[in-house]
Amino acid sequence: MKPSFDLSGRTAIVTGANTGIGQAIAVALAAAGAAVLGVGRSGMSETETMIGSAGGRFASFSADLSTIDPVDDIVEAAVSAFGSVDILVNNAGIIRRADAIDFTEADWDAVMDVNLKTAFFLSQAAAKRMIPNARGKIINIASMLSFQGGIRIPSYTASKSGLAGLTRLLACEWAAKGINVNAIAPGYFVTNNTTALREDPKRSGDILGRIPAGRWGNPEELGGAAVFLASDASAYVHGTILPVDGGWLAR
């Protein structure tokens, strides 16, 4: 049987679809046939143009994901725009950098709220729609910090390690209900999230020096993994954290 990567007739919610990794994943899912609802606090006109000019379907919903208040409205917006919720990509995320010894409660809470708490409660809201259809795909955007400690990013490491655990827990609870919950762990990609690292010659050199591929990733290079985990081709894949990292973890 030929594996199917076709997402025609499916609706995807992608958080943080205005830029970076979320934008690239939204574009890839749309190219595979999905109708995409981009969710975030910034305008999505660039993503809308990219998808629309390729003949895809896109709508946006404005929401601040630092609280869980909008989660039900996000799911309803997808249903009212496109008729269903079949795929959720929890991509929106932030990072705060400071030595652990100086790290503030505000920087702890801000990161945990967006990266972990909202990802969980939005997954819960989406799953309430998916379970009656016995069909759904949830893809969390994890990190190398789901496997490693890192430095100067305590709340980010805690949130991404937590997201890996949550991916496994939700897979265990929802696999038998027809929902595949998995994560993608990007290595080091050229986005706003990594501007500070790339502008620090020492850190940038250290990072580049251990990437077997010898370069930073481009967000478009996550599209294939996202389409795979969103499609029937991954029907029996549950609770995995798929690294797309230029070989970083292999070193």
Nearer to ligand NAP, 95 or 171 (CB): 95
Using CB under 6 A as the binding rule, whether residue 186 contacts ligand NAP is answered as yes
CB of 126 to ligand NAP, least distance (A): 16
Cβ neighbors of 116 (< 8 A, separation 6 or more) are 158, 159, 162, 163, 166
- 3-class secondary structure, 181: strand
Please tell me the distance from the alpha carbon of residue 234 to that of residue 217, in angstroms, as a whole number.
23
* Among residues 189, 207, 223, 227, the one that binds ligand NAP under rule CB under 6 A: 189
Using CB under 6 A as the binding rule, whether residue 182 contacts ligand NAP is answered as no
Using CB under 6 A as the binding rule, whether residue 16 contacts ligand NAP is answered as yes
CB of 101 to ligand NAP, least distance (A): 23
Q: Give the residue among 87, 74, 77 at the shortest CA–CA distance from 6.
A: 87
To the query of whether residue 156 is one of the catalytic residues in this protein, the response is: yes
CB of 95 to ligand NAP, least distance (A): 6
Using CB under 6 A as the binding rule, whether residue 234 contacts ligand NAP is answered as no
Q: Determine which one of 82, 156, 188, 248 is catalytic.
A: 156
Using CB under 6 A as the binding rule, whether residue 71 contacts ligand NAP is answered as no
Please tell me the distance from the alpha carbon of residue 15 to that of residue 7, in angstroms, as a whole number.
18
- 3-class secondary structure, 239: coil
Nearer to ligand NAP, 56 or 186 (CB): 186
Using CB under 6 A as the binding rule, whether residue 240 contacts ligand NAP is answered as no
* Among residues 13, 14, 21, 35, the one that binds ligand NAP under rule CB under 6 A: 21
Nearer to ligand NAP, 136 or 246 (CB): 246
CB of 32 to ligand NAP, least distance (A): 20
Please tell me the distance from the alpha carbon of residue 65 to that of residue 75, in angstroms, as a whole number.
13
With CB under 6 A as the contact rule, which of the stretches 85-93, 120-128, 205-213, 233-241 interacts with ligand NAP?
A: 85-93
Please tell me the distance from the alpha carbon of residue 189 to that of residue 210, in angstroms, as a whole number.
14
Q: Looking at the DSSP assignment, which residues form a beta bridge with residue 182?
A: 139
Cα 102 from chain centroid? 29
Please tell me the distance from the alpha carbon of residue 246 to that of residue 249, in angstroms, as a whole number.
8
Segment 191 to 210, residues that bind ligand NAP, using CB under 6 A = 191-194
Q: Which residues of 156-167 are buried (b: 16+ CB within 10 A; e: fewer)?
A: bbbbbbbbbebb
Q: Give the residue among 204, 186, 208 at the shortest CA–CA distance from 196.
A: 204
Catalytic positions, please? 156
Which chain residues interact with ligand NAP by CB under 6 A?
16, 18-22, 40-42, 64-66, 91-94, 114, 141, 143, 186, 188-189, 191-194
